[in-house]
């Protein structure tokens, strides 16, 4: 579905963020993009969404090259923008309509779909925003804004969802809901996170980005989570002291997820 | 010291430009500045033009409308105003591109704080603006309508205003917490509080009314 080859990218007046990144995403996969802060996760997602173009390397979507010139061609841009959507890390950046209903209906309306309002109401209900349909997006809480931004992109019924740290501003209940939703939605999903305790819930395959913007790992997520040297190189685990009663000791913490309440039964 | 001299030269140049009333001389100075600013001249020029475009267009159109109505329109004045603003902004961008501002204000710790805070705010705002622009591009499968652009611009302005107010409040609190404001000037010295058993408690400083501090009277 997606092919990236030898991607290099640097923001203006800044060091290289992505360096020689090559990867592919197949239809229906649930992928987790792991990396420490500043490793280039957000930049890679923006690149996959065609918002920025790599300085070197190539990017193709369903066999078609994605370039600034191609994205200026109406038909391709229309198809690409409705099939590949990105949930930004800070959802405020995505919200600009007067009501929640208009915000969700914006994309479908732009595509001229006759059922834009029905889609808005459906996705608002699915994400628990139905009582807020007439509210102003900027009056919502952080978690509600995140859900609204997600509803706005889901209303397009995309094929590929790119999610940038989607659980960062959600409370535990909303995070749990999002995990369940992503597993059941039947779409191709790439989720970025540096939270290893959530990672194992978000997909089966992992890309691990190192601090120099290089791809350190591409393979089964569980293998990545077990590879301490890899996690250490990616700055995803750290050594710190722990106290158990009167005993203090220090070791690496990977913070992988375990169901404490189940294991204690 | 070299950076400080550049700062003084820049300030002197800006003041001098305000005393020049001949458009041809301002144009010549602009060309001279372009020639002197080396390889990055077109990048600086582009930034300067983009920075003044909206302001200059609005002022020029306003001036043209009013002066034509009053019958005293002057092309020379129009040129003078536009060239002066462009030259001053160009000098500003050239100075910032050439000189490390923190180095230039090293003689004053207060100016150093101000420059550091401003640089931090500029960086945060630049990132927020970039995200808004990219998010808008991402959400538009077709060319957005003018009304959508206007709504987006308004949402962006509102968000940035909120952010600037929040950041200013946070920065002020952080500076106060780090002792940047002397809330206790002229007040009695700190007193140690002794507990019932004679133990020394936390230091209590009397507060000025209305001043919010981390200290609380025990």
At residue B218 the predicted structure's pLDDT band, cuts being 50, 70 and 90, is: very low
Shared domain for B35 and B86, answered yes or no, is: yes
Predicted interface score ipTM higher than 0.85: no
Shared domain for B59 and B149, answered yes or no, is: no
Tokens of B138: 């991402």
Domains of chain B: total: 2
The residues, any chain, with a CB within 8 Å of residue A263's CB and separated by 6 or more, are none
Q: Which of B104, B128, B160 is the last residue of a domain?
A: B104
Q: Decide if B192 is inside a domain.
A: no
Q: Do A110 and B144 touch (CB under 8 A)?
A: yes
Q: Which of B89, B104, B119 is the last residue of a domain?
A: B104
Q: Do A96 and B152 touch (CB under 8 A)?
A: yes
Out of A105-114, A137-146, B20-29, B188-197, which region has the weakest mean confidence (pLDDT)? B188-197
Q: What is the mean pLDDT of residues A222-243?
A: 80
- Pick B141's closest partner by Cβ from A81, A95, A152: A81
Shared domain for B17 and B98, answered yes or no, is: yes
* Cβ pair B30, B127 in contact under 8 A: no
Q: What is the mean pLDDT of residues B124-142?
A: 88
Out of A193-202, B86-95, B141-150, B163-172, which region has the weakest mean confidence (pLDDT)? B163-172
CA of A165 vs chain B CAs: smallest distance (Å): 15
Query: Contacts of residue A46 in chain B, CB cutoff 8 Å?
Result: 134
**For chains A and B, what is the number of CB pairs under 8 angstroms?**
62
Q: Decide if B187 is inside a domain.
A: no
Query: Contacts of residue A97 in chain B, CB cutoff 8 Å?
Result: 151
Shared domain for B74 and B116, answered yes or no, is: no
- For residue B85, the number of C-alpha atoms closer than 13 Å in the C-beta half-sphere is 16
The whole-model pTM stands at 0.72
pLDDT tens, position by position, A56-111: 999 999 888 998 888 888 788 888 988 999 999 888 888 988 899 999 999 899 88
CA dist., res. B141 & res. B144, Å (int): 8
User: What is the rounded average pLDDT for all residues in chain B?
Assistant: 82
**The pLDDT value given to residue A258:** 43
Q: Which of B104, B122, B137 is the last residue of a domain?
A: B104
Enclosing domain of residue B7: 3-104
Shared domain for B47 and B62, answered yes or no, is: yes
Tokens of B6: 């550049």
- For residues B68, B74, B80 and B81, what is the CA-based torsion angle, rounded to 10 degrees? -20
pLDDT tens, position by position, A128-180: 899 999 998 888 888 888 889 999 999 989 999 999 988 877 778 778 888 88
Residue A188 has pLDDT above 50, yes or no: yes
Tokens of A148: 């609204």
Q: Decide if B67 is inside a domain.
A: yes
pLDDT tens, position by position, B62-110: 999 999 999 888 999 999 999 999 999 999 999 988 888 888 888 888 8
Q: Decide if B210 is inside a domain.
A: no
Ramachandran assignment for A164, one of left (phi > 0), alpha (psi -120 to 50 degrees), beta (any other): beta
Shared domain for B59 and B150, answered yes or no, is: no
CA dist., res. A178 & res. A147, Å (int): 9
Shared domain for B115 and B66, answered yes or no, is: no
Shared domain for B140 and B69, answered yes or no, is: no
Q: Decide if B218 is inside a domain.
A: no
Q: Decide if B44 is inside a domain.
A: yes
At residue A263 the predicted structure's pLDDT band, cuts being 50, 70 and 90, is: very low
Shared domain for B22 and B70, answered yes or no, is: yes
Q: Decide if B216 is inside a domain.
A: no
**The pLDDT value given to residue B107:** 85
The residues, any chain, with a CB within 8 Å of residue B26's CB and separated by 6 or more, are B17, B20, B80, B83, B84, B87
Q: Decide if B136 is inside a domain.
A: yes
CA of A216 vs chain B CAs: smallest distance (Å): 27
State the CB neighbour count (10 A cutoff) for residue B197: 5
Shared domain for B55 and B147, answered yes or no, is: no
Shared domain for B92 and B14, answered yes or no, is: yes
At residue A227 the predicted structure's pLDDT band, cuts being 50, 70 and 90, is: confident
Tell me which H or E stretch contains A103. Answer: helix A100-110
Q: What is chain A's length?
A: 265
Residue A221 has pLDDT above 50, yes or no: yes
- Least Cα distance to A153 among A200, A103, A203, A218 occurs for A103
Shared domain for B9 and B79, answered yes or no, is: yes
């Amino acid at each position: 579905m997606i092919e990236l080859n030898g991607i290099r990218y640097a923001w203006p007046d800044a060091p290289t963020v992505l360096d020689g990144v090559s990867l592919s995403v197949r239809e229906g996969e649930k992928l987790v993009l792991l990396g420490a802060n500043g490793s280039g996760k957000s930049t890679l997602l923006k690149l996959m969404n065609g918002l920025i173009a790599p300085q070197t390397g190539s990017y193709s979507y369903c066999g078609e090259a994605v370039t600034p010139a191609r994205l200026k061609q109406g038909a391709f841009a229309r198809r690409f923008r409705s099939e590949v959507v990105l949930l930004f890390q800070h959802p405020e950046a995505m919200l600009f309509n007067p009501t929640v209903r208009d915000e969700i209906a914006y994309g479908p309306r732009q595509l001229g779909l006759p059922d834009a309002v029905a889609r808005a109401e459906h996705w608002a209900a699915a994400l628990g925003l139905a009582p807020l349909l007439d509210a102003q997006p900027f009056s919502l809480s952080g978690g509600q804004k995140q859900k609204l931004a997600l509803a706005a992109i889901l209303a397009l019924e995309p094929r590929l969802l790119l999610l940038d740290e989607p659980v960062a501003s959600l409370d535990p209940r909303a995070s749990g809901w999002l995990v369940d939703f992503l597993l059941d939605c039947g779409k191709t999903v790439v989720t970025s996170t540096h939270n290893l305790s959530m990672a194992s819930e978000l997909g089966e395959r992992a890309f691990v980005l190192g601090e120099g913007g290089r791809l350190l790992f591409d393979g089964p997520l569980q293998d990545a989570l077990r590879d301490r040297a890899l996690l250490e190189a990616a700055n995803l685990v750290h050594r710190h002291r722990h106290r158990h009663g009167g005993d203090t000791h220090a070791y690496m913490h990977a913070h992988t997820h375990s169901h404490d309440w189940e294991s204690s039964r | 010291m070299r950076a400080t001299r550049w700062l003084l030269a820049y300030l002197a140049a800006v003041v001098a430009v305000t005393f020049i009333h001949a458009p041809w001389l301002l144009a010549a100075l602009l060309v001279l500045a372009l020639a002197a600013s080396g390889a990055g001249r077109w990048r600086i020029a582009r930034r300067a033009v983009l920075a003044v475009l909206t302001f200059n267009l609005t002022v020029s159109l306003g001036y043209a409308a009013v002066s034509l109505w009053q019958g005293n329109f002057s092309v020379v004045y129009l040129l003078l105003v536009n060239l002066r603003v462009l030259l001053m902004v160009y000098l500003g961008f050239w100075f910032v591109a050439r000189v490390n501002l923190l180095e230039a204000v090293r003689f004053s710790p207060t100016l150093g704080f101000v420059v550091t805070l401003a640089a931090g705010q500029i960086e945060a705002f630049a990132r927020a603006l970039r995200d808004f622009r990219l998010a808008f591009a991402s959400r538009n499968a077709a060319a957005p309508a003018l009304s959508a652009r206007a709504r987006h611009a308004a949402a962006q302005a509102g968000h940035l205003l909120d952010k600037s107010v929040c950041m200013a409040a946070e920065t002020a609190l952080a500076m106060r917490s780090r002792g940047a404001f002397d809330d206790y000037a002229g007040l009695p010295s700190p007193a140690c509080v002794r507990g019932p058993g004679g133990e020394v408690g936390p230091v209590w400083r009397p507060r000025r009314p209305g001043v919010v501090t981390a200290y609380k009277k025990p």
